[in-house]
Amino acid sequence: MALHEDNRVFCEKTELFSDAFYGTITKIYEHSALVKVEPDQLSKKETDKIDSFGDLVVIRLSELQLVDAAGKPLKEPAEELEAAE
């Protein structure tokens, strides 16, 4: 998946959150990303789970969808592979 820092993403329901939400990637890890959840995206009950982290959550890359500013899914650009020598 071709996600990078500062990409806007959409996340469907997960084990941690029962509501879908939008956010911005702040850091990429090997199989996950640290996502800053946009304000008012989650219910108060679920927001309490992440308050101590400043609205940051770690989500698997496979659960994230790249979206534009309007929230519409974007096609993921094909990553160019370098030829082995």
Q: What is the pLDDT of residues 38-81, one digit of tens each?
A: 887 766 656 556 655 678 888 999 999 999 988 888 876 555 55
β-strands 56-60, 21-28: how paired? Answer: unpaired
How far apart, in whole angstroms, are the C-alpha atoms of residue 84 and residue 3?
Answer: 24
SS3 category, 47: helix
Range of the domain at 15: 8-66
Tell me if 84 is assigned to some domain: no
Instruction: Give domain status of residue 34, yes or no.
Output: yes
Number of domains the chain contains: 1
Q: In this predicted structure, what is the pLDDT of residue 55? A: 81
**Nearest-CA neighbor of 24 among 39, 12, 36?**
36
pLDDT of residue 11: 92
Q: Which are the contacts of 3, defined by CB distance < 8 A and separation ≥ 6?
A: 9, 25, 28, 33, 61, 64, 66
